[in-house]
Amino acid sequence: MAELHFGVTIPQIKRTWEEARAAAVEFEAMGFDSLWVCDHLYGPQSPHIPILEAWSLLAAVAAVTSRVELGTLVTPAGLRNPAQLGKVIATVDNIAGGRIIAGLGAGWMPREFTDFGVPFHPTRERLRQLEETIALFRRMWDPAEEAVTFEGRYVKATNLVCLPKPPRRVPILVGGSGEKVTMRIAAREADIWNNLAVQQSALPRKVEVLREHCRAVGRDPATLRISQQCLVIIAPDEAQARGMVDTAKRIFGGHMGDPEGPLAIAGSPERVREQIQAHVDLGCTMFQIEFFGRDTREPARLFADRVLPHFR
């Protein structure tokens, strides 16, 4: 089994660059393996909620960190011109020195497409965009390809040159829990598959479906890393955590999964370790954590002190 990987999201919604920067630097110093941002042009609840744009933010974070990997959960493939997006990712990866994980998905919020002049296609077509975008990225980032001509239904490029190339083979993460198409794309094309927080309780079934897809396409399931987006509620003891769980339920509803579900990562450090181990037993070796708290550095410190050493 792969070494366990613990990533953490950085402040991005209703937060300043100064807050995002300070958190990113501290999370790296605490020993986390990666930093993550969501890729939305609008706040998920309302267009009027301030949010820092994902790839601009990652470029800045790349310049103030040195070790952690950096990724998006996730970039909708059809939200931007795919060739230009591939160039952006290659540039950010050069700034980072080869630390980018390209998190990709189909997108789900119509207005962040249409308000910016981009068509929001039906689901099946957006998934086709995702497949074609991955195929284009693989070619335009390949050191052996000098100029790429690509003729897909939704993705097109003619004599496309991408220089400088990314410093490493960029890992591609496919996020989404659609069992018929999205997870099949992940089995065929991705290095990492990410289960959405809202589907955390369904992880046992999702893992089995993913493995079935891998076998169907002739892939060893062990070569596809399983990751889980998760809300982590951690407090020094169970009593304090209980109050935080109640607050999280009011704030998030079901958007970040059920904080009382069978795989919920909530409670004392001891309880959090047990719940992480439950994920590991299912084959999950990567975690993208959203810590619960106004200043997420506080719970992150408790996690880094009392949980991380247990899994190192």
Q: How far is CA 11 from CA 61, 190, 257, in A?
A: 12, 27, 19
> Over 70: is that where the pLDDT of 307 sits?
yes
Q: Looking at residue 165, what is its pLDDT?
A: 98
Token pair listed for 266: 């909530």
Q: What is the pLDDT of residues 96-153, one digit of tens each?
A: 999 999 999 999 999 999 999 999 999 999 999 999 999 999 999 999 999 999 999 9
pLDDT band of 64, cuts 50, 70, 90 = very high
Distance, in Å, from the CA atom of 27 to the CA atom of 123, rounded to the nearest integer, reads 36
Q: How confident is the model at residue 93 (pLDDT cuts 50, 70, 90)?
A: very high
The percent of residues in the chain predicted with pLDDT above 90, rounded, is: 95
What average pLDDT does the chain have? 96
Mean pLDDT of 281-303: 96
Q: Is the model's pLDDT at 1 over the cut of 80?
A: no
Predicted confidence band at 61 (pLDDT cuts at 50, 70, 90)?
A: very high
Binning pLDDT at 50, 70 and 90, where does residue 255 land? confident
- Tokens 């074609």 belong to residue: 132
Q: Which domains does the chain show, CATH number per domain?
A: 1-175 (3.20.20.30), 185-200+209-312 (3.20.20.30)
Quote the CA–CA distance of 91 and 164 in Å, as a whole number.
Answer: 7
pLDDT at 2: 79
Q: How far apart are CA 265 and CA 207, in angstroms?
A: 18
User: Can you list the positions of beta strands (E) in the chain?
Assistant: 5-9, 34-37, 69-72, 75-76, 100-105, 148-151, 156-160, 172-175, 192-195, 225-234, 265-267, 284-291
| 251 has pLDDT over 90 | no
Residue 185: pLDDT over 90: yes
Going by C-alpha positions, the residue among 174, 160, 6 that lies closest to residue 77 is 174
| Alpha-carbon span 69 to 98, nearest angstrom | 8
The H or E element spanning position 62 is helix 54-64
What's the confidence (pLDDT) of residue 206? 98
Q: Does the pLDDT value for residue 254 go beyond 80?
A: no
What pLDDT does residue 237 have?
A: 95
pLDDT above 70: percentage of residues in the chain: 100
pLDDT at 90 over 70: yes
Q: Please tell me the predicted confidence (pLDDT) of residue 253.
A: 79
Residues in the chain: 312
- Cα-Cα-Cα-Cα dihedral of 176, 182, 187, 192, to 10°? -20
Place of tokens 């969501």: 38
